[in-house]
Amino acid sequence: MESIPERVFDKLAEKNIKPSFHRIKVLEYLMVNKNHPTVEQIYSSLKKLFPTLSKATIYNSLNLFVEKGLVQPITIEETEIRYDSTVESHGHFKCECCRKIYDFGIDIDSIPSSGLDNFIIYSKEIYYRGICRNCADVKSSQRS
């Protein structure tokens, strides 16, 4: 099993992205923090380690990663984009109560669809919204 720093280098090399210091740190952050962080979250975390960091660098890096298919943007929020370094098939669930975004298992490619004959499909995203188990538990215990 490769370590994360090793996998960061491999992923960047695989997509022909020059492994600059900041790009490495941004991708590493995404691979360690699987909680679908926003630009602001990535920026404020890395800023503590590297005080000269600019927010534009986060945007530059992420936009490059998305363009190259290394990272998936999650548009489940209306206000800001979240990012996920896992591009394999899975869904995202947003709890309307605690606002947390959960991954869940789903095999998107096994789902039959109609009306897309001769369409070329690059990516598929599945978003569910509702109340997560934790919040549902709290609510039901409050009720009793």
Number of residues that bind DNA (CB under 7 A): 23
- Does position 72 bind DNA by CB under 7 A? no
Considering only residues 57 through 96, tell me which ones interact with a second copy, judged by CB under 8 A. Answer: 73, 75-78, 81, 91, 93, 96
Site string for DNA, 26-65 (x = CB under 7 A): ------------xxx---------x-xxxxxx-xxx-x--
DSSP, residue by residue, 49-79: H-TT--HHHHHHHHHHHHHTTSSEEE--SSS
Considering only residues 74 through 93, tell me which ones interact with DNA, judged by CB under 7 A. Answer: 78-81
Task: Give phi and psi for 91, each to the nearest 5.
Answer: -105, 170
CA 25 distance to own-chain centroid: 15
Question: Of DNA, a second copy, none, which one sits near residue 68, judging by CB under 5 to 8 A according to partner kind?
Answer: none
- The DSSP symbol for 29 reads H
Given a contact cutoff of 8 angstroms between Cβ atoms, the answer to whether 138 and 102 are in contact is: no
Closer CB to DNA, 33 or 60, in the complex: 60
Number of residues that bind a second copy (CB under 8 A): 41
The span from the CA of 19 to the CA of 52, in Å, is 19
The span from the CA of 39 to the CA of 97, in Å, is 22
Q: Which residues are at the interface with a second copy (CB under 8 A)? A: 73, 75-78, 81, 91, 93, 96, 102-107, 110-133, 136-137
Q: Which residues are at the interface with DNA (CB under 7 A)? A: 18, 20-23, 38-40, 50, 52-57, 59-61, 63, 78-81
